[in-house]
Structure 1
Amino acid sequence: MLPVDARLTSTSDFARATKSGIRVTSQHFVGYLYISPVTNNATAKCGLIISKSVGGSVKRHRVARKVRHAVAPMISNLPTGSLLVIRALTQEGDSNIECEISDLISKLITRAEKISAKQ
């Protein structure tokens, strides 16, 4: 479970991350990472987008639980004040969600480091 201060709940924050953030895709997920230009001591926040294309209610909630469980230990690796949004795509079978999410987040972090090094 994600701590309350690490949950992304604002619609404007979701829009900011998905429209202005760094995007990385994997087989079953799309990750967006928005790094705030203003340096603040706020913790990184994470939000999920699980649409009906993933499956029925039970399957969507199962995927959301697995994603939250995979993201929780990695939230401390994200830059402070950043916004992470993970969008689930159609799920076929039972994929290894934990491994895929950790790869997705590490790719987002490395891409963010490359972009910040250029600036």
Structure 2
Amino acid sequence: MLPKAHKLSSSADFRRTTSARTRAGSRTLVVHVTTRTDLALTGGPRFGFVVSKAVGNAVTRHRVSRQLRHIALEAVHGGVDKLARPHDVVVRALPAAARAPSAQLREDFAAALAAALAKAEKRAGA
């Protein structure tokens, strides 16, 4: 379970993160990243998950959501070096995520997150 300080909770935060156009994908998921510029940053990095009906039935969607939350929790506790406190991350599961084992989701998440962070750094430097 992700602590409250590491969850995206408002639809405005989801919208801001997904519309920032800093994303990267893999066969199983798409990762959107943005950096908050609030003066009073609380918590973070924060994660949100989108697992639509295209992924599967309710049981399948909940299983994929649990797997993604666990992977995000690992990232919070040092699994990702470049993930800083002001980052907001939205992970959108694709239909292939329903059949992917946890190890594959973990690899895809790490690769997509690294690519999205590299795009964000490049965009910030330009």
Length-normalised TM-score, structure 2: 0.82
Consecutive unaligned residues of structure 1, counting only runs of 5 or more, are: none
Shift of 1:79: 2.5
Per-residue Cα deviation, 1:27-81 (whole angstroms, up to 9, x for no partner): 1111110112345543221000000000011110111111111111213542222
Q: Hey, what does 2:19 align to over in structure 1?
A: 19
Shift of 1:87: 0.5
Alignment of 1:40-119 (within 5 A): 40-42=40-42, 43-75=44-76, 77-91=82-96, 93-95=99-101, 96-118=104-126
Consecutive unaligned residues of structure 2, counting only runs of 5 or more, are: none
Count of residues in Structure 1 that have an aligned counterpart in Structure 2: 118
2:28, 2:100 within 8 Å by CA — same for their partners in 1?
Answer: no
Task: Give aligned-pair identity as a percent.
Answer: 28
Moved over 6 A (4+): none
